[in-house]
Structure 1
Amino acid sequence: MALSPTTRHFSMLRGFALADFFTLGNAACGMAGVLLAMGFMAEPEIRQFLLAAAMAPLALAFDVLDGRVARWRRQSSPLGRELDSLADIVSFGVAPAVLAHAAGMDGGWDVAALIYFVCCGVSRLARYNVTAETLSEGGDKVKYFEGTPIPSSVLLTAVLALAAWQGRIGEDLWLGAWELGPWVLHPLSLLFVLSGSLMISKTLHIPKL
């Protein structure tokens, strides 16, 4: 089909602000973390696991920069906010969960905990997007977070990286494993339950810097 005279290739990207490309950098780091964690499961080399974990702070750096660039350029927009949330769920929701699974949290209760964590992250970001205008009180910046922001999951990734550095993943995962009913639970996965629960709290207010 022929293109109309006004149609340009990659026209959607032409409409992106500079900050949006930093947001895409965040998403790229998250996806890299997922693929590296999957690679570790196929061929367990500790270097690959640590590299997957390193994608989280790198994604966080992009996440911080996109906000600062948007304010510097005064180019904040609903599109940018949606892009930011979609990138965050990959980098700080799905990627940490996949890394935890690669670390050995593969029992039935672990899987349920990791799914719960990701669903909490999705819910947290959706609520933020819906309420951001109200929370900003007519200004151009949200004053506080309801619940912990999803990038706080970088702390979970740091715990996994430390465990891997000490050789305490897989069968030697910290705190061991418990058989509870039909499934196995690695108590370390409860950190993900705690993190997810804090993200969806409405009573916990954290000032946004």
Structure 2
Amino acid sequence: MSRNTQGLHKRRGNASEPPEDNDNVKGTELRKFIDTNGHFSLVRNFHLADAFTLMNGFCGAQSIFMSARFLLTSEPKYMWYALWLPFFGAIFDLLDGKIARWRRSSSMLGQELDSLADSVRDDLFIQISFGVAPTAAAFALGLRHPLDTLCLTVFVCSGVARLARFNITAAYVPHDAGGKMRYFEGLPIPSSLILVIGMAVCLLCGRFEDANGAWVPNATYSYTGYLGSWLRSSPVRGVPLGEFVLDLTIPLYKFLMMGNILPRYVSPAHIAEFANTIGYLAMHKISIVFVFWSIAMVSKTMHVPKP
């Protein structure tokens, strides 16, 4: 065995379980899924930890649906549900590994579910609850301009890129004597819960938008916007920090009409519609927070100690 391979086994190794035993366990678990027939054969091979992993994905999906329901109804209670559910997902994320270690059981299904619902093992999981659900909530709360959604998409893609890098380089990050990673490279994706807390503060201050635009206080949901009315005498509405706006509609329209060439093939009404769509550039300033968060997630020089 080469010196590099020996070092790799030292970093990865688990003193209580040799590699051969791990292979035997995987083979046994795989055999269960191949040999078990009949109705509900998949469910019958579930471990308790698998159920908790699935509940993590359940919370993330429900959070997205609650954000969509808020856009349909403009009822803030659905946004509160959407922001609470990722925290429940974090609880399930924390418990599934602990339950697996407590019961000393780990299934092949559980390993694959970790890749789907959590996306990265060792408590650094890019999951629906921490990636897609917070960006869906941000969209529902008002970050809906095309440039806003571009920033939110960069956030999600950065999480996916971080997953790919982690799967390749995790074994080469320094480990302690017990085989535990000393630090994470880049900001862990569960840190997006801080962004979720920030969105909850926006709800408390009434600084968000519903389907009709800037939210108007409603006595039915007195807890929403309460903090904002307490902090100031005159209400300020809309997403915090305002927008960047660059209106190039008229110059773009004049450019497209230049020489009267394009109007020969396209009606002026369609040209004007195109100019209005492309020429008006707007973005909420707070969207930049998601961009900087994305940079921090994919950073290799930022080392976050692993708890």
State the TM-score, normalizing by the size of structure 2.
Answer: 0.61
Report the Cα distance in structure 1 between the residues aligned to 2:303 and 2:134, rounded to whole angstroms: 24
Corresponding residue to 2:289 among 172, 191, 194: 191
Following the alignment from structure 2 to structure 1, what is the Cα–Cα distance between the partners of residues 186 and 104? 27
Q: Is the 8 A contact 1:82 1:129 kept in 2?
A: no
SS of residue paired to 1:92: coil
Q: Percent identity?
A: 44
Match of 2:130, SS state, is: helix
**One-letter identity of the residue aligned with 1:105:** L
Deviates more, 1:73-82 or 1:160-169: 73-82
Query: Which blocks of at least 5 consecutive residues in structure 1 are unaligned?
Result: none
Q: 2:205 aligns with which of 166, 174, 177?
A: 166
User: Does residue 40 of structure 1 match 2:70?
Assistant: yes
SS of 1:180 mapped into structure 2: strand
Decide whether the 8 Å contact of 1:144 with 1:206 is kept in 2.
yes
Change in CA separation of 1:199 and 1:28 when aligned onto 2, cut-off 3 Å: same
2:135 aligned partner:
97
Kindly report the root-mean-square deviation, in angstroms, between the aligned alpha carbons of the 2 structures: 2.4
Amino acid at match of 1:100: A
The answer on 1:7 being equivalent to 2:54 is: no
Higher Rg: 2
How far does the alpha carbon of each residue in 1:146-171 deviate from its partner, in whole angstroms, 9 at most, with x for none?
11111111111111111012110013
* Conserved 8 A contact 1:85-1:125: no
Separation in 2, partners of 1:41, 1:194:
26
Q: Which of 114, 126, 137 is the matching residue for 1:84?
A: 114
Alignment correspondent of 2:88: 58
Greater RCO, CA 8 A, separation 6+: 1
Give 3-state SS (helix, strand or coil) of 1:179's partner.
Answer: strand
1:6–1:107 distance in 2 versus 1, CA, 3 Å:
closer
Distance change (3 Å), C-alpha of 1:204 and 1:80: farther
How far off is 1:68 after superposition? 1.6
Which structure carries more helix by proportion?
1
Partner of 1:116: 154
TM-score for both structures, normalised by structure 1: 0.88
For the pair 1:154 / 2:207, whether they are aligned, the reply is: no
Partner of 1:176: 242
